[in-house]
Each structure stands twice: as C-alpha cells, then as structure tokens.
Structure 1
Amino acid sequence: MHDHAHGIREGDSRRLLAVSLALTGTVLVVQVVGAILTGSLALLADAAHMLMDGAALVVALIASVVAARPADDRRTYGYQRAEVLGALVNGLVLLGLCVWIGIEAITRIASPAGTEVSGGWMLAVAAVGLAANMVAAWLLRHAQKHSMNVRGAYLEVLGDMLGSVAVIVAAVVILVTGWTLADAIASLLIAAFIVPRAIGLLREVFSVLSESAPQGTRVTEIREHLRGAPGVRDVHDVHVWQLTRGAPVFTAHVVVEHDVLERGGSAALLTSLQGCLAEHFDVAHSTFQLETVGHEDRDAAHH
C-alpha cells in the first residue's frame, strides 16, 4: 500500500485540528472582549476572522470524521469527498468575511469623526492572537500538505496570523501618532490578504469536483511511460482525477500482445503497471482494462 500521508495519519490530523480549535476558541474570547474595550475595528475584524477560523476547524473536524467512514455499496469510493465539501465551505466563508470587513472599514474611513481606539489594549490583545495563531500554524504545517480540508483550516490560520500582525502595526501607529484611521486601514489589509487565498482554495475545490487532472499531472507523460512496459502496444481512454487532495485515481485501457494473455501474464503485467504508477507518479489507486491487439475498444480509442 502506498502511503500518501508520509507519516501524518488521519487520527493525527484530527488531534491537531482539535488542539488548534481549542487555541482558536480561547483567543476568540480574548479578542472579542478586547475589541469591545478598545473600540478597534481591526481587532474586531481579526476576532471575526478568528471566529471563522473556529468554524472552519469545526467543519474540518466533522469532515475528517465523515471522510474516514468506509466505502459501501452506494458510495463505492467512500466519503473522502466530504473533505472537499468542507474546504468549499471554508472558502465561501472567507470571501463573505472579506466583504464584511471591507464594508465596515470603508464606512469608518468615510466617517472618522468620533472614532476612539485604545492602542495599548489593542496591541496587547493582538499580540496574544498572533502567538496563538503561530502555534496553530506550526501544528498544522505538515498535515495541510496531504489534506485539502486541513489546508483550508491552515490557510485561515495563516490569514489570521498576518491579520494579527496588521493589527499590531496599527496599534503601534495609534500609540505613537494618535491616527485612529490606521485601525480601519489595517482592516482593509486583512481583507486584501484573505481574498486571493480564498479564491485559490475554491479553484482547487472546483478542480476536484469537475474531476480535472490533479495539478502537475502530465497525462501524456504517464501514457508514454506505460507504453514502454514489456508487452504493451498502446494505452488509450486514459482518465485521471482525484477524490480529494493527495488521492488521485487513474483508469486506462491497455492494448497488449496476444502472447501476454496466452501465457497467463496478465496478473504480472497489472502488478507492474500499478507499481509503476505508484512509484513514479504517486498514484496509488489505478484500474486497467487489458485488450489484445485487434480487439481494443475502438469507441474509446480517441482518448
């Protein structure tokens, strides 16, 4: 069996998500109280982002548990697509959050009169948020490489971490100069940072749902590699897609010489082809239909 997790098991990912959720929830309370006490829009925006981080982590945990359920007669590939749906929710939430932050910031910039922000408390609370997000990002850094769902949560943590940096800078500006509009500008910077990452996550989700070939997969190269196997004359009707991040699926029709089947070499050939894909192209789940020369499926031969 090929191990895509490279040492990161699903149970480990769930534990990391749970620890990150506990950190997020604790800091969220601190940030909300701090936003109320200081009157900081940037801190409130960062608290809202932290709330969305918590929601994303909850979705990630639920999706991770559901995805671990075994396949059945109705869902023959199991429930791994639950991770993709979780990532879809995360991406949409991020975009909605950006709209809210942008509207609130522009409103405050347009009407700055009477705006008071306590820079000292703002700085202290933002520093606590930054520390917590750094810990959460460190915990999730390896697992996010192998799970689209964990990656969605990881990107939100990164976004909130840089958001905390923006709040800290705004707080320092307010303390030094008294210019409270730095708070609203920091809010816009938080939104600007979130948008491209949310779009990138949604693009990856739609790529999976549309069953496109995984990014970086060269179908022509795979086909030519398989054609070089002993006894193989042609490879056609090739399809490559992924159930979720790190779970590519490959199917193809393989045209072989007559003597391959006559001498009972089909099992050895299948084992060789599957091992080739797993070793060279990191594809652990592959299915081949063997056809002899002259009897290939002509309807599919154009693929």
Structure 2
Amino acid sequence: MHTHYDHTYTHNHSNNHTSNNKKGLTIALIITSTIMLLEFFGGLITNSLALLSDSGHMLSDAASLALSLVAMWIATKPVRSSKTYGFHRFEILAALFNGVTLFIIAGFIISEAYARFWEPPTVASGSMMIIATIGLLANIMSAWVLMRKGDVKDNINVRSAYLHIIGDALGSVGAIIAGFIMLVFGWYVADPIISVIVAILILKSAWGIIKHAIHILMEGTPLTIDYDKVIKTLIGIEGVKNVHDLHIWTITSNLHSLTCHILIEDLKNEQEILNEAILVLEEKFNIKHVTIQVEKSDTIHSKLEV
C-alpha cells in the first residue's frame, strides 16, 4: 500500500489558484453589489420588472460571490482527525447552493411575469435602458475579472459564481431589448416576456451547476477522466495482470483522488511497477492523490463491497 503526494507542486499551484480566485471574486463582488443597488432603485423608479428581476438576480449573485469567498476561506482550514480530507468539499456545497438559488430566483421572475403578462404596467423605458446598459457593462467587467483572475473552467465554485454573473448580463441584455421595444412600439408586454426568456436561460445554467455538484458529492468519476482508459493504461504496464477495485473521485475542483488494487506477476518487482503506475497516472490523467495496493497470486482479501 502506498500513498503518493507531490507536496511542493500541489501546495504552490493550489495557493496561486486560490489567491487569484479570491482576487477575482472580491472585485466582482464589489462591482455586482454596486450595480445591484442601482438596478433595484432604478426598477422602482421606472416600474420595470426586467430591472427589478435583474437586481434580484444580482442580489443572489452578490450572495453567491460572498459565499464562494467564504467557501475558499473554509477550504484552507487545516485537516483534522475527524475530517481527514479537510474542508475542501465546502466549495462544492457552496456551488450547489448557488445553483439552487438560481432556480428559486428564476421561479420568482416567472411568477411575477405571469401576473404582469395580462395587465402590463407602463414602464419608463428610456431610463430603464440607461440603467440596464450600466448593469450590462458592470457584468461584462465582473465576468472579465473572473476570467482573468479566476479559474472559471475547472473550479466549480468559481464557475457557479461566474454563471451567476453571466445570468445577470443576460438579464441586462433582456432589459435593454424590452426597453427598446417599449420605447419604439409601446408594447409593454415585452417586459414580462423578456423576463421569462432570461429566467429560462438562468435555469439552464443553474441545472448544469447543480448536476455537476451532485455528481461530485456522489463520488462520481471526474468528467475529465475516462475510467476505462485508466484501467487500460494500468494494465498496459509490463507485469500487471489485473486492475480491480478502482475508484476515482473529486475531492474539490482540480483535486482528484484514486485508489485501486493491482495484481502483478509473482516474479515482478512491486516497487518498480508501483512507481511506474504513480508516474503514468500523474502524467496522463493529472491524478496526484493516489493510493495503490499491489498484490500477487498469494494475496488474500475479503470480497469487496463496492
């Protein structure tokens, strides 16, 4: 049995990512909170559901950004004897919560839009477009900061916050389009219709985050790793006869773990095969947290349950 860690690389690489993610989230939080207040009071003044719904979405964004920052702080807490993997999973829980809040907000928007659809109120469309444009520019700036500073591709926590901001940007675009239609044609029903379209787009993004977070919490194989290819690669090592009890899961974003049993030929050197297996798993699959039990024909263990 052997457990392999690349302490220096993992520590430095992780610290750099975490620092950049924190900077990106902090800047995005400041921008989002400022524009949220602008859109909220602007929505009240112009009587625009599109602006009010977008400000409500931005409130959720501000909360999600703050939660993401808290999750990163908690994830850095040291390992305890009662929590041997530390608190990394809190980032996944934060992402799941963010996805659920997106669903709730989209539901409120659709509900309010339905009520307004039959009797659409008059909206100050010109002022609404100006405020929505400011909101859109702020969302673009926040998204740009997160893309430059944060890891929106592989870190599900940062990605969930990023998708909140993209949802905001869609809301602002929707408000601008609705404002233009109302200004030119006087069709005030455009306000609730556009709001519903934006809500549906938000739901699509939210479902992706929720599904991914649940997959991780259920110890699913990382989406970027081919389970069968891992088996073929290990069996391809000279002297390996069989690979079984293989488990691959994600502890948190960019931190995968693997355990397995490898049956080797009796005359082969265990350490040589073990070292080659550790190396190939890191080089081909970027799995650094590896535990492998090397077995020979006389190894006896009870039947494995999973």
Q: TM-score, normalised by structure 2?
A: 0.91
Deviations 1:86-124 (A, max 9, x none): 011101100000110001001001223xx1211111011
Determine the structure 1 residue equivalent to 2:105.
97
Choose the corresponding residue for 2:76, options 68, 74, 80. Answer: 68
The offset of 1:146, in angstroms, is 2.5
The alignment status of 1:128 with 2:134, answered yes or no, reads: yes
* Residue 296 (structure 1) shift: 5.0
Shift of 1:227: 1.2
Structure 1 residue 33 displacement after superposition: 1.4
Aligned-residue CA RMSD (Å): 1.9
Counterparts in 2 of 1:35-50, with a 5 A limit? 35-50=43-58
- The residue identity in structure 2 corresponding to 1:201 is I
5 Å matches for 1:201-220? 201-220=209-228
Alpha carbons of 1:210 and 1:220: their partners in 2 closer, same or farther (altered >3 Å)?
same
Partner of 1:32: 40
**Cα gap change, 1:54 to 1:187, in 2 (>3 Å):** same
Aligned partners of 2:215, 2:285: CA distance in 1, in Å?
19
Decide whether the 8 Å contact of 1:233 with 1:293 is kept in 2. no
Tell me the percent identity. Answer: 34
Counterpart in the other structure of 1:266: 270
Match of 2:3 in 1: none
Q: Does 1:198 align with 2:202?
A: no
Q: Secondary structure at the match of 2:298?
A: coil
Which residue matches 1:292? 296
Instruction: Indicate the SS of the match to 2:262.
Output: strand
Contact 1:63 1:83 in 2 (8 A): yes
> Gapped runs of 5+ residues in structure 1?
none
Q: Which amino acid aligns with 2:257?
A: V
- Per the TM alignment, residue 177 of structure 1 is displaced from its structure 2 partner at its CA by 1.3
1:116 aligns with 2:125: no
Q: For each residue in 1:272-303, what CA deviation from the matched residue of structure 2 results, as whole angstroms up to 9, or x when unmatched? A: 21111111012121110111123254624x97
- Encode CA deviations 1:122-153: one digit per residue, 9 max, x unaligned: 01100111001101111112511231111110
C-alpha distance in 2 between matches for 1:170 and 1:297: 67
How many residue pairs get aligned? The number is 296
Is 2:146 aligned against 1:140? yes
- Higher RCO, 1 vs 2 (CA within 8 Å, ≥6 residues apart): 2
8 Å CA contact 1:119, 1:175 repeated in 2? yes
| Long gaps (5+) in structure 2 | 1-5
1:278 aligns with 2:282: yes
If the length of structure 1 is used for normalisation, what is the TM-score? Answer: 0.92
Separation in 1 of the partners of 2:160 and 2:182? 33
Deviations 1:160-180 (A, max 9, x none): 111111111111111111211
